[in-house]
Amino acid sequence: MPLIYQLASIGLLLSLISHVAQSGSPDSQQLSSQCQACSAIAAAFQRGLERTARDNFGGGNTNWEETRLGTYALSETRLVDITDRLCKDKDNEMDGVTSSECHAMLEKIEEDIEKFWFGAFKANPTSASLRDSVCVNGTAACCAYGRWGPECAPCPDCSGGRGDCNGNGTRTGTGACDCHPGYSGAQCSDCSAKYYRANGESNGECKACSPACRSACTGPLATQCDQCADGYETVQQADGAACVDIDECQTRSPCSGPRSFCENLPGSYRCGDCDRACSACSGPGQVGCTACSPGFEPATTGSGCQDVNECSPDSPHCTGPYERCVNL
């Protein structure tokens, strides 16, 4: 065979080998789905154990039951009662696993579940874990909790629960710490922006600064901001400088139009439309009216405007013999 054809054949063979290798290796999405399905079955199995905990095996031949099945608690009958409903468990959908995904995984691990039941579970019913025995050690669909990724590498210490290991318990993820709100850094040991270290301790809890602070602070008060956030300004007070809200409605009158009003908010403001009772207003509702629209009059009690009752007894409207006045 000419050399050029030999090289072409070798290239084609390598391409096929590469394709087979790639198609035979599940991607991260498949790995995640397999672990999720197996974990959902393990959770449903645990619920099945709880559901059948008080059941009794009530056959007719007690000697046969004890010889062949032992007590109901460890019997094949109980196992069947549980496994028959694993993919019918209504909570499986809540675990993000569909019925078809559950049945596909159950078909793969059915023998493993049976081995678990008559092995690890029968030996120690109180501590045996289906997830550990089947999903982790059997099918290797998942990692043990505290491990992550294809090689089930150990998860980092995310500062004692101030973050979660990305991919914890699965064959996917990055293994990085996903920090809880208020924490940052590779191991979630630092405080995020707008948080401060409580009690000044190096490992103390991170708590939120005042909304008046731009980023850093030394405590929860508006007097403890390093800088003021937008919408706040520094004002000297009796106990020192503090970040105080700017009332934009007073300083800038940002809401234009005769039938609109400005409402000051912490660090901001909003513009609103006057109630239909108002021809001008300073706030929401009829009580916010500063001038009344036609058909409305100043309120007799309190502030704002109220509807004019055109159908009052002394009203000149609807005076005909067959007319009836309806106030709107």
pLDDT band (50, 70, 90) for residue 21: very low
How many Å apart are CA 117 and CA 123, to the nearest integer?
9
54-88: buried (b, 16+ CB within 10 Å) or exposed (e) per residue?
eeebeeeeeeebeeeeeebebbeebbebbbebbbe
* Percent of residues in the chain assigned helix, strand, coil, to nearest 5: 35, 20, 45
pLDDT of 233: 96
3-state secondary structure of 139: coil
pLDDT(9) > 70: no
pTM for the model stands at 0.66
Grade residue 275 by pLDDT with cuts at 50, 70 and 90: very high
pLDDT (average), residues 250-273: 89
Residue 112 pLDDT? 96
For 1, what's the count of Cα atoms within 13 Å in the CB-facing half-sphere? 8
Q: Which of 131-145, 192-206, 212-226, 272-286 has the lowest mean pLDDT?
A: 192-206
Percentage of residues in the chain having pLDDT higher than 90? 62
pLDDT higher than threshold 70 for residue 146: yes
**How is the chain split into domains, by residue range?**
29-51+66-136, 143-192, 193-245, 256-328
Q: What is the mean pLDDT of residues 272-284?
A: 93
> What's the angle, vertex CA 284, arms to CA 283 and CA 286, rounded to 5?
105
Helices (H), the chain: 3-24, 28-51, 62-64, 76-83, 91-94, 99-116, 122-123, 130, 248-251
Distance (Å) of CA 247 to CA 126, 244, 259, 262: 63, 9, 20, 10
CA 312 – CA 317 distance, rounded (Å): 9
pLDDT, one tens digit per residue, over 149-182 is: 999 999 999 988 899 999 999 999 999 999 999 9
pLDDT tens-digit series, residues 222-260: 999 999 999 999 999 888 899 999 999 988 878 887 789
Instruction: Give me the pLDDT at residue 277, please.
Output: 94
- As a whole number, mean pLDDT of residues 80-102 equals 84
Pairing assessment for the beta strands 232-237 and 206-208 based on DSSP bridges: unpaired
What is the three-class DSSP state of 58?
coil
* pLDDT value for 35: 93
What pLDDT is attached to residue 224? 95
Which runs of E-coded beta strand occur in 139-208?
147-148, 153-154, 163-165, 177-179, 183-184, 190-191, 195-197, 206-208
Q: How far apart are CA 269 and CA 247, in angstroms?
A: 8
Q: What is the predicted pLDDT for the residue at 210?
A: 97
In the block, which residue shows the tokens 């934009």?
248
Q: What's the alpha-carbon Rg for the chain, to the nearest Å? A: 36
User: Which helix (H) or strand (E) covers residue 1, if one does?
Assistant: none
CB 251 within 8 A of CB 196: no
Percent of the chain residues topping a pLDDT of 70: 85
Least confident of 65-79, 91-105, 121-135: 65-79
How crowded is the C-beta side of 36, counted as CA atoms within 13 Å? Answer: 17
Amino acid 89: pLDDT: 72
